[in-house]
Structure 1
């Protein structure tokens, strides 16, 4: 029997409910998987009535009650969204509902009631309005699971990108490029790849500055922090190399068969991934398996 995957609804005022219903219109999704949606059942019923009335919403109180059959969406009903919730707008109610769905999904995963979780898109402004001040899913999941070292990986069309820093203003990035942070990213990446991909991963690390600082002319982060982190990783037996200039590296990734690329800041890594096609967001360093879409709530 297939394992159960927990799927959070995402922000109820965003596109999460719609894309979930549309995904279940593909019978192969239901035939090949046992998926439990976690969120508000009535909201999903209203959504299905508008765009896919043939789909039945089956409300449950535990994963064991699910039918897991075609044309049916099993929903662990949290009953936490009012019909008056304004669509397409950030709100405290939407943030509260998003948080509660993630919290319940993590609880189920930690108890082995679901084998993995996939999270629908959330709105960070809504999350903050509800009093949950996390930069994003990655940090929230780390908090809920008690994980000290978690990190985001984006995977799409055989390209895997890891970010040393994630949702930070550019003027704060430089202070976070430290030997410790770079080394932590390399170790996390190597551990995850060994667990899920290959025994001996090949990891490329890019620099922060143009031309990797050009010997210190354009910045010293490569010399002071990135290279020392690489040397320690190599001494530990990790097949990591670099630092490489980002503009040159991504042209070579496909041909040189790197298993992953570690980037220093958000757009440095996210632009190549999204130009390469739609991707999957993976959180490394958690005691549970978590994936997500690579887009927002629209």
Structure 2
């Protein structure tokens, strides 16, 4: 019986590096631990394969059960049209439509149990907005497609897990979003996921929002008004949390402090340390969904798209994480 999980890999923005890293990684680097099924445009994938693995041919399928995993073939569920003359390194409505279409298809397959997990290549926010989909990013889109109320974005890599309380919002809007309810929800979602992967009593460290956690209100009161009450609330239910910690101090000693995850208040506060710790191989995991989704830790990289120099390392690690978390041991946790 086949033990390798079936992972749906979405094409991402066809004008970015998604098709390139898929073409580089899937034929040679992931077959030992999973069965990859690309969700996208077969002709687009073939154009990129011809550059890196000209002997690999596309096997086009209409449903996962038609896929056959044999040497010399890459399975593609052909469900989105990418114009052959779509410009590289440029946000377009056509690229945005294709990116959203393949994500929706992958979600439907995962919800139906036809694939074990989804790994997503990067999308471009401007492109999906041009296509009429005003999502801030993958996380919010996946929540909508799965009708999930509470989700959280986690980056994992280099023995560090970081969860963001707010994601892709302007910095000036972060303050208003840091509420007791939001922080408490993020903590509960994070704790639940950590226990689901087999950590009996996870410890979660929580950063403050302001420099020096507000210094008693001198630099802001979000710690006292929102973060501390949220910590008190989840502690009352037996969740092991500490904080709020000054982010600079916490991440400065993180490798000497037993912590299963760190919840940070805004995008760069969490992204900078995780990317430094992982050296470009971090994995994005969406917590709270009824399906398993992992992703790369980078964007569409328009600055290098089409040049053949993009690294597929993060995609490989994202697929490895998806395979690990969808294994029977984790599924039974």
- Asked if the contact 1:60/1:75 (under 8 Å) is kept, the reply is yes
- Asked if the contact 1:212/1:244 (under 8 Å) is kept, the reply is yes
Aligned pairs for 1:138-217 (under 5 A) are 138-217=139-218
1:269 corresponds to which residue? Answer: 270
1:14 corresponds to which residue? Answer: 16
1:82–1:228 Cα change, 3 Å:
same
Are 1:293 and 2:316 matched, yes or no? no
Deviations 1:181-230 (A, max 9, x none): 00001100000000014011010000000100111111111111100100
Root-mean-square deviation over aligned CA pairs:
1.0
1:59 corresponds to which residue? Answer: 60
- Asked if the contact 2:27/2:74 (under 8 Å) is kept, the reply is no
Structure 1: how far apart are the matches of 2:71 and 2:229? 54
Unpaired runs of 5+ residues, structure 2, are: 302-333
Runs of 4+ in 1 over 3 A off after TM superposition: none
Shifted more, 53-62 versus 38-47: the winner is 53-62
Unpaired runs of 5+ residues, structure 1, are: none
- 1:253 deviation in Å? 1.6
- Asked if the contact 1:30/1:69 (under 8 Å) is kept, the reply is no
SS in 1 for 2:31: helix
Deviations 1:214-264 (A, max 9, x none): 111111111111001000111110001100000000122211120000000
- Asked if the contact 1:14/1:297 (under 8 Å) is kept, the reply is yes
Structure number with greater CO (CA < 8 Å, separation at least 6) is: 2
- Asked if the contact 1:42/1:79 (under 8 Å) is kept, the reply is no
Aligned pairs for 1:14-93 (under 5 A) are 14-26=16-28, 28-93=29-94
SS in 1 for 2:230: helix
Shifted more, 95-104 versus 269-278: the winner is 269-278
TM-score (norm 1): 0.98
Aligned length: 297
